[in-house]
Amino acid sequence: MIPVSGFEGRVVAVLGLGRSGLSAARALRAGEADVLVWDDNPEARARAEAEGFVARDLAREGGFDGVDWLVVSPGIPHLYPSPNPVVAAAWTAGVPVDNDIGLFFRALGGEGWDSFDSPPRVVTVTGSNGKSTTSALIHHILTSSGRESQLAGNIGRGVLDIEPPEDGGVVVLELSSYQTDLARALTPDVAVFTNLSPDHLDRHGGMGGYFAAKRRLFAEGGPDRCVIGVDENEGRYLANQLAEGPTDDRVIRISSGTKLAGPGWHVFARKGFLTEWRKGRQVASIDLRPVRGLPGAHNHQNACAAYAATRALGLAPREVEAAFHSFEGLPHRSQIIAEAGGITWVNDSKATNVDAAVKALLAFGNIRWICGGLMKEGGLTGLAPGLAHVTKAYVIGREAAGFALGLPGVEAEICTTMEQAVARAHAEAQPGEVVLLAPAAASFDQYDSFEKRGEDFAARVRGLLGL
């Protein structure tokens, strides 16, 4: 645990008692703050009270009497589509609102850091797609190279649950827009922006607010090095805003599919090869095609981002390349779960939006595609580039019929349930084909999370195959 200092003897309220909320409450108490907690869920309050925390209904009149600071869990809206009543009450009371990410950066760099030969570093990763894989890959490369590394944030442990980093250690944080939007302190050493596509628009009041939440990590965080995906206009804009000129190598531009040129620092992947250019000359090249854990152009973009971030930390290209080959990928993200009878079964349940699903479709050919679920704002517009790779779609979810209508030119069978979709794909798949779960939709119409959806898919596949 990282004790949060600076609040000794002050009253700090924590709203939301999930993983990050309870972690923040514990870290604040370890730093000698007087902690109050609240969650609308009585069971969550009971768990916190069992640990000795005092619950107070912050929304009632006088709820903020004596409170100096409010820490809000990331799932709680603080502005759009409308502020949570407790957040609005904090504004009225003049109480600063923060989150666990802000507390982490406030607490980092305390006593003892002056004695380190190599001060610990923090690498942050944000973007619409690829954050988890990129973060895990950076962590894997570092540990494979013998560097101390901890992975936290939106993946793995809560950020305040990790141990204080040691001499030369690296903390790798995956940060969602919910986390970057509210944190009052953001000071990473290396910050990565993967890409941007429409997502969480209701939470941020539109695409501009969504991008602004991501941009805070760079514009206000002031990282020493920025790794920026420039395959969208937002990334190109961000890289231009951060760089002082074409030779400014504090900004490393990355791309999947486009050869980047110029005197700056560039890392790009084309036709399966990752290439690093610096000061107008090629520095290194890696063949990504045999890297089993990183299939497809979207994973090649993740590889470029992780390569650039670890190079910024001083690792050699050969160290990064060796680590690529031992990376097994993450569950529910282009995860090969079985190969039998010449048929490959792939779980990409994390493809919860159209952009992620298209990237998964483009990574494979001859696909029997299991898709569907709770459609997000914007519907299925944008799927077209990947549909040519689809032999047949098997549509699940309560909106299966409507989802199928959004797949022009694709043979689609309405299955509704995962059980039926897997059974029908198994019955019809031929050697050389891929059965891919990439829903292009949220899971909440049938599952508690995309993880539960992916686990159901994997279990049914293994059951049919007798694995």
Tell me the pLDDT tens digit for each residue of 229-271.
Answer: 999 999 999 999 999 999 999 999 999 999 999 999 999 999 9
d(CA 20, CA 157): 9
Q: What are phi and psi of 454, to 5 degrees?
A: -65, -40
Residue 112 pLDDT: 66
Radius of gyration of the chain (CA): 23
**Binding site members:** 127-133
Please report the pLDDT score of residue 253 as a whole number.
98
Distance of CA 379 to the CA centre of its chain: 22
- What span, in angstroms and rounded, lies between the C-alpha atoms of 166 and 68? 31
Amino acid at 398: R
3-state secondary structure of 183: coil
Binding residues for ATP: 127-133
Confidence at residue 453, expressed as pLDDT on a 0 to 100 scale: 97
Please state, in angstroms and rounded to a whole number, the distance separating the CA atoms of residues 7 and 451.
37
State which amino acid sits at residue 166. Answer: E
Domain spanning 11-98: which superfamily? NAD(P)-binding Rossmann-like Domain (3.40.50.720)
Model confidence over 441-457: pLDDT tens digits? 999 999 999 999 999 99
Q: Distance (Å, rounded) from C-alpha 179 to C-alpha 200?
A: 13
Element (DSSP H or E) covering residue 337: strand 335-340
Fold of 335-459: Protein-Tyrosine Phosphatase; Chain A (3.90.190)
Its pTM stands at 0.86
Note the pLDDT of residue 198: 79
pLDDT tens for residues 123-149?
999 999 889 999 999 999 999 999 999
Among residues 251, 303, 296, 258, the alpha carbon closest in space to that of 278 is found at 251
Token pair listed for 116: 């380190």
Separation between Cα atoms, residue 412 and residue 25, nearest integer Å:
49
Assigned fold of 109-326 = UDP-N-acetylmuramoyl-L-alanine:D-glutamate ligase (3.40.1190)
Domain ranges of the chain: 11-98, 109-326, 335-459
* Percentage of residues of the chain with pLDDT beyond 70: 99
Q: Is the pLDDT of residue 357 over 90?
A: yes
Given a cut of 70, is residue 1 above it in pLDDT?
Answer: yes
- Mean residue pLDDT of the chain comes to 94
At 108, the pLDDT band (50, 70, 90 cuts) reads confident
Are 227 and 303 contacting, i.e. CB atoms less than 8 angstroms apart? no
Grade residue 202 by pLDDT with cuts at 50, 70 and 90: confident
Rounded mean pLDDT of 311-336? 94
